[in-house]
């Protein structure tokens, strides 16, 4: 038998079996096994489980200022520029032009809000810093 034809028959048989098995498995059964979609898994792995709770950067900023750590940091650095950066480990870092820093661990709710603020600033192209290309301004 010709190898090309044999390969085509094997491929066709595999596609047929996959189609039948997918038809036999209901969505309920798949969900009960704990399988989730690729975008949901990717969001979970990157620390962005939930959809963005804020629609603009101003509302995200005001929600971040409700956090005691963040508000205290901003008050201490009132006359300085404050930048927000994402870090490689999934946490975020506030940097002040005075040299003070504040790191929010990636498990915290404030970190998720800060990442949301960072992403919204990039989407809106607002509060971008010319001097720190990987950061957004927080005091704007």
Q: Are residues 74 and 114 in the same domain?
A: yes
- Mean pLDDT, range 23-32, rounded to an integer: 60
Q: Are residues 26 and 69 in the same domain?
A: no
Assigned domain for 111 exists: yes
Q: Are residues 74 and 113 in the same domain?
A: yes
What's this model's pTM, rounded to 2 decimal places? 0.61
**What's the number of CA atoms in the CB half-sphere (13 Å) around residue 83?**
18
What are phi and psi for residue 22, nearest 5 degrees? -70, -35
Distance CA(112)–CA(107), nearest Å, equals 8
Assigned domain for 43 exists: no
Q: Decide if pLDDT at 50 tops 60.
A: no
Cβ neighbors of 89 (< 8 A, separation 6 or more) are 106
Q: Where in the sequence is the domain holding 21, given as residue range(s)? A: 3-35
Chain segment 28-39, per-residue pLDDT in tens? 665 566 666 677
Assigned domain for 95 exists: yes
Beta sheet of 82-86, edge-to-edge order: 101-104, 92-96, 82-86, 135-137
Assigned domain for 131 exists: yes
Chain segment 86-126, per-residue pLDDT in tens? 999 999 999 999 999 999 998 999 999 999 999 888 888 88
Q: Are residues 65 and 21 in the same domain?
A: no
Assigned domain for 49 exists: no
Q: Are residues 13 and 62 in the same domain?
A: no
The total of structural domains in the chain comes to 2
| Per-residue model confidence (pLDDT) at position 74 | 93
Q: Are residues 83 and 132 in the same domain?
A: yes
| Per-residue model confidence (pLDDT) at position 12 | 86
Q: Are residues 87 and 20 in the same domain?
A: no
């Amino acid at each position: 038998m010709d190898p090309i034809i044999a390969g085509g028959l094997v491929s066709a048989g595999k596609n047929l079996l996959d189609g039948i098995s997918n038809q036999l498995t209901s969505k309920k059964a798949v969900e009960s096994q704990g399988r989730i979609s690729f975008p949901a898994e990717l969001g979970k792995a990157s620390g962005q489980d939930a959809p963005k709770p804020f629609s603009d950067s101003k509302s995200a900023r005001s929600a971040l200022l409700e956090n005691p750590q963040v508000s205290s940091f901003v008050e201490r650095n009132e006359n300085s520029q404050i930048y927000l950066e994402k870090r490689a480990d999934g946490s975020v870092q506030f940097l002040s032009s005075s040299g003070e820093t504040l790191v929010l661990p990636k498990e915290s709710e404030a970190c998720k809000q800060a990442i949301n603020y960072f992403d919204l600033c990039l989407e809106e192209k607002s509060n971008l810093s010319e001097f720190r290309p990987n950061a957004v301004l927080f005091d704007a």
